[in-house]
Structure 1
C-alpha cells in the first residue's frame, strides 16, 4: 500500500497522516509538489520523517524546472541521509507547478537528461550547469548514494520512456484493467529497450480514492482527479460515447484548482469516467475493483484520499488498509 498526500493542510497534520500510514502498514507516502497551490513539499517531508522508522518518503511528483537539479539532488541526498535511505524520488515533466505560472512542462528528452544528471550527482560526480556551463557536484557526497528515481507517467510516450530509464513508475491511467494492461505493455516496451523487463521496475498504480457508504458522495469526491487523468492522452481508447465529455474537461481544466474536490471542472465528469479512472464507491465496490487489480503485475496501489474540505483523510486511509487486508486473507 501507498498513500499520496497533497500538502493541502498544515505540516503538523501531514505529519499525523504519515504516522498513521506507518502504523497501518503503508509502505510509501508520496507528497505532492506544487508550490503555488500546496505547502512546500520538502519541508513537509522532512518534518513528517521525524520519528518514523519504516515508511518510505517520495514525491508524487516533483520536476526539474522549479527545482534546479542541484537543489533536487541536495534535497534527496539529505532526506536519504536523514531517513537511512527511505526515499523514492518521484519526478515528471511538470504539471500544475509550472502551468500555474504559464510555463511549459519539460520535453521527454529533457526529462531523460535530468534523470541521468541526478544519478550522476548521487554517485558523487559532477555535471555541467545548463546556463553557465560550469561543473558542479554535491560536496558532501563522499560515496555513491542509492536513491531510486520514479517517473510519473500516463501518456503512451512517457510510459515507454519510464520503462527505459526509471527505477520505478508511478502509473496514472485509472483503475480499469483495460487501461492498466495497456500501460504495462507500453512500459514493458521501454524496459526491453534498456535490456530489462517489468520485473526490474517497481510499479505503483496511482489512484484517486473515495470510499463511502454513499456511492454518490464517493464518486463526487473523485471527479476532480478523474478530470486530471482525462486531460492527458491515454494508453487505451475510451468508448466513443465518452469522447465529448473528455474534450469538454480538457477545455475547462483550471490548474489553480488542480485536484480540488470543489473545482468547477469536476462537475462535468460523468460517472462512467469515474468508474474507469478512480477507486470510488462503497467498500464492496472498491474491494471488487482492488481484487481485479490484484491479478495484475502491480507492486503497489497508492491511493490519493479525497474528502470534503475540512474533513480528515484518516478514515479513507484506514478503510483502504482494511480492504487490502481482507483481499489478502
Structure 2
C-alpha cells in the first residue's frame, strides 16, 4: 500500500520522517504556512539526509508566497539531496494565505505557476510573467550540481473545487483531495478526475488520486469523541472547507444531509464576513493544526467524523484504509493535525495498517 504522511513542518521533529520510513510509509509531505509552521524546505532538506527510500515533498506550497522560479529551484535543490525521491505538492494556499488575512491563489495563478515550474524542472526555457513583465527564464547551470533536474520530480496538485480538479488534471501526476472512508464520495471524485484527465487529452488513470484524511487509533473504551479531543482535533473542518464547492454541485448524488452538515461546519468556522464582532483572522488561525481548539468542538459531529476521518480500532483502521483504495483512491494520506501526537500516530499507522496491509 502506498501510504503518505503529511504534517506541518516542525523543525525539532524531523526524526518522525525516519520513523515513518522505517514503518513502511512511502511518502512524507511537509506543510507550508509562513506564520504557522517551520519552513518546509529546511525541514525536508535535513530529513533527506536521515532517510534513504521515502519520497519527500511539500504538502503543499503555493504560487503566491513563493513565485514559480523560487519553487522550482527549492524543489530541484531538494532533488539534489534526495535524487529521484522528491515530489512537488502545490495548491492555492488555504492556510498559508488565509492566516495572513489574504485571499487564496486564483486558479489561473496556480496554473501559470504549474506551467513555469514544470517547464523549468524539465530543463526548458519558459516565459515567466511577473510584476507585469514577461521574461524568458531557464536554469542556467543544470549540470554543475546546484540543483537536480535530471531525476524527474512528480507534481502533486491539491484540489478542492470542481474548477481546481479540472485544471489539476491537465498538469498533475497526482491530485491530492480531502476524502474519508466513504465510497460514494471517493467514487464521485475518481469519476470526475478521470473525466477531466480524458478531457485534457491524457490517458485515463494516468493521474493518481491521493485521499487525504485524519487519523486516530481508539484505545480500549474510547469513543469517537476521544478521536477529536485526543487525536485529529479540528482536522475534519479542513475537509469541510475544501469540499463545499464540489459537494454543492453534487447534492443529488451525495445526499443533502452530509452536504448541509459540511456547509454548516465550514461557515461556522469561518464566521459571518459581515459580522461586526467577526474574530480577527490571526485569532481564527492561531490554533490551526495544533490539536483541538475547544470552541470548534460543537461543530464536529459524529456524522462529519465518520465521513472524513480514518479512526477506530486497529481492525477498523485497516478495513477503512483498504476501503479507501478499493473505492478508487491510489494512495491514502493521513495529515497529522497535531504535531504533539505525531510520533504516536505514525507508530499506530505502522503497526495497525501498514504491517498488516
TM exceeding 0.5? yes
Q: What TM-score, normalized by structure 2, do the two folds share?
A: 0.83
Is the 8 Å Cα contact of residues 208 and 279 (structure 1) preserved in structure 2? yes
Is the 8 Å Cα contact of residues 121 and 127 (structure 1) preserved in structure 2? no
Does 2:141 match 1:140? yes
Is the 8 Å Cα contact of residues 31 and 40 (structure 2) preserved in structure 1? yes
Does 2:199 match 1:193? yes
Is the 8 Å Cα contact of residues 325 and 331 (structure 2) preserved in structure 1? no
Instruction: Return closer, same or farther for 1:50/1:92 CA change in 2, 3 Å cut-off.
Output: same
Distance 1:239 1:257 in 2: 31
SS of the residue 2:286 aligns to: helix
Is the 8 Å Cα contact of residues 233 and 337 (structure 2) preserved in structure 1? no
User: Which shows bigger deviation, 30-39 or 124-133?
Assistant: 124-133
SS of the residue 1:257 aligns to: coil
The structure with higher relative contact order (CA 8 Å, sep 6+) is 2
Residue 12 of structure 2 is matched in structure 1 by 12
Q: What TM-score, normalized by structure 1, do the two folds share?
A: 0.90
Report the CA distance between 1:223 and its aligned residue: 4.5
Report the CA distance between 1:230 and its aligned residue: 0.8
SS of the residue 1:80 aligns to: helix
Report the CA distance between 1:4 and its aligned residue: 0.7
Residue 162 of structure 1 is matched in structure 2 by 168
Residue 181 of structure 1 is matched in structure 2 by 187
SS of the residue 1:134 aligns to: strand
Equivalent residues in 2 for 1:239-254, closer than 5 Å: 239-242=255-258, 243=260, 246-253=263-270, 254=284
Equivalent residues in 2 for 1:1-329, closer than 5 Å: 1-7=3-9, 9=10, 11-13=11-13, 15-124=14-123, 125-131=125-131, 132-142=133-143, 146-213=152-219, 214-215=222-223, 216-220=225-229, 221-232=231-242, 233=244, 234-235=246-247, 236-237=250-251, 239-242=255-258, 243=260, 246-253=263-270, 254-263=284-293, 264-307=295-338, 310=340, 312-325=341-354, 327-328=356-357
Is the 8 Å Cα contact of residues 279 and 286 (structure 1) preserved in structure 2? yes
Is the 8 Å Cα contact of residues 226 and 277 (structure 1) preserved in structure 2? yes
Is the 8 Å Cα contact of residues 76 and 89 (structure 1) preserved in structure 2? yes
User: Which shows bigger deviation, 199-208 or 84-93?
Assistant: 199-208
Instruction: Return closer, same or farther for 1:245/1:33 CA change in 2, 3 Å cut-off.
Output: closer
Which aligned runs of 4 or more in structure 1 are off by greater than 6 angstroms? none
Runs of 5+ unmatched residues, structure 1:
none
Instruction: Return closer, same or farther for 1:128/1:51 CA change in 2, 3 Å cut-off.
Output: same
Distance 1:145 1:180 in 2: 32
SS of the residue 1:101 aligns to: coil
Report the CA distance between 1:317 and its aligned residue: 1.4
Q: Could you report, residue by residue, the CA deviation over 1:125-162 in whole angstroms, capped at 9, with x for unpaired residues?
A: 24334213333322222465521111011222212222
Distance 2:118 2:355 in 1: 39
Q: Could you report, residue by residue, the CA deviation over 1:205-260 in whole angstroms, capped at 9, with x for unpaired residues?
A: 11111112123311443341111111232444354345256324323333333333
Is the 8 Å Cα contact of residues 187 and 328 (structure 2) preserved in structure 1? no
Is the 8 Å Cα contact of residues 58 and 88 (structure 1) preserved in structure 2? yes
Is the 8 Å Cα contact of residues 120 and 127 (structure 1) preserved in structure 2? no
